Amino acid sequence: MPSVLIVDDDLSSLNLLTHLFEGRGYTATTARSLAEARNNLESRPDLCVVDLLLPDGKGTDLLDEGLAQHSDVVVLTGHASVESTIHAFRKGARDYLTKPLSRDEIDRLFEHLAPSQSAKPVDAPISVHFGDSLAEVEQRLILHTVKNCRTQDEAARMLGVSTKTIYNKLRLYESHDRASRDNRASRDAGNATDAAAPAKAAWCGNEPSRSVG
């Protein structure tokens, strides 16, 4: 049976998540602070759902301490921001939920968890690699969130930004993609011209001369 550690100082969301996970066959352990969470990590739970802001620190402190090396981590936050979410993903978080919890978000979480008893997420929401710029990771995060939300308003709420920001970012990405496609097309056309030039020159050089008169 898979195990989950739920770390949240909000008793109502703690009880809700405990009920939902136990209903899915998980053995649930709870903690309301970083100190309590650390005391429960020796058992190495399969999954940890960690609130971003706790009375004695940030949930991402556990990620900084290497939590994601032995447990899958979902960040729970009522104060979503692109920066905090990217930091969590850089440290190994696999997904995130925003407060107040909605049925859609909870369903989305369980969709990302494998149906087997291993409780391992099928795929990370976004990939973060060493050397990636903040802008590159932000673009992946925004596009992933928009894809998995029904509206841009919902995506904006999850990321803690305005709907106008989402709209402007999407237009910027579309513009960059269009420019990139145009550049590739120009390069391909130039390469084709360069490749044809030697063949044309060779043909012209081998063309038999014609006598006049």
Q: What is the pTM of this model?
A: 0.57
Domain 3-125 has CATH 2.60.40.1480: no
Question: How remote is the C-alpha of 173 from its chain's centroid?
Answer: 17
What is the structure's pLDDT at 201? Answer: 57
- Range from 48-57, 145-154, 202-211 carrying the lowest mean pLDDT: 202-211
What is the structure's pLDDT at 35? Answer: 95
Angstrom distance (rounded) from CA 113 to CA 69: 17
Residue 23 has pLDDT above 90, yes or no: no
CB 58 within 8 A of CB 43: no
pLDDT one-digit tens code per residue, 29-88: 999 999 999 999 988 899 999 998 899 999 889 999 999 888 889 988 777 677 777 888
Binning pLDDT at 50, 70 and 90, where does residue 121 land? very low
